[in-house]
Amino acid sequence: MSATEITVIGNVVNAPTRNRTQNGSVTNFRMAATERRFDSATQDWIDGHSFFVDVECWGELGGNVSHSISKGDPVVVVGNIRTHEWESEQGRRSRPQIKAEAVAPNLARGVADFRRTPRSAPAIPDAPEEHGFPGADGELRPGRDYVGADDALEQVTEDLSPEPVHA
């Protein structure tokens, strides 16, 4: 059975919380996606129905979310949607939940300062020098560095000053 993938654009409605479980660490938050439509009678945008959904972020994604996302932030969430079910005093209950694959600030609503998380570099075995690839000692490595003839790229000699855009 394949998962149901979904993308939801909305706002974070509570502060993300990070918890450690026996399966690893998870960060949870709730978000709301509210439809906006243009009302021709009032000539203005109005809010429609809201969709609330819980989001769970596992592992490294969860750590990055807990350090980057706050209540009220506009976000884009991509993941697999499912129904979370449980028993309560009122009987069987359920609500939608997204297991996130990616969470990002919505750049249509602001700017972000992205910083990569540091990772340890995987060891790459040294390659023979005649293959044209660097090793740990500065020699060329396959798939990482390009070495070509000096005339492989043409020199740009014309003026590249900005020109007006023509629509």
**Are 69 and 48 in contact, with CB atoms under 8 Å apart?**
no
Confirm if 84 and 93 have CB atoms less than 8 A apart.
no
- Is residue 66 included in any domain, yes or no? yes
pLDDT in tens, 124-163: 554 444 444 445 555 555 555 455 555 555 555 555 555 5
User: Residues 79, 145: one domain?
Assistant: no
Residues 135 and 97 in one domain: no
Return the structure tokens found at 151: 């005339």
pTM score of the predicted model: 0.66
- Answer whether residue 89 is part of any domain: yes
Is residue 74 domain-resident? Answer: yes
Q: Same domain, yes or no, for 68 and 15?
A: yes
Determine, yes or no, domain membership for 159. no
- 63-92 pLDDT tens trace: 999 999 999 999 999 999 999 999 999 999
For residue 94, CA distances in Å to 23, 84, 91 come to 23, 5, 10
Q: Are residues 45 and 99 in the same domain?
A: yes
Number of structural domains, the chain? 2
Domain that holds residue 131: 123-149
| Cβ-contact 72, 10 below 8 angstroms | no
C-alpha–C-alpha distance, residues 78 and 60, integer Å: 15
Nearby residues of 28 by Cβ (< 8 Å), 6 or more positions away: 16, 17, 19, 54, 55, 56, 57
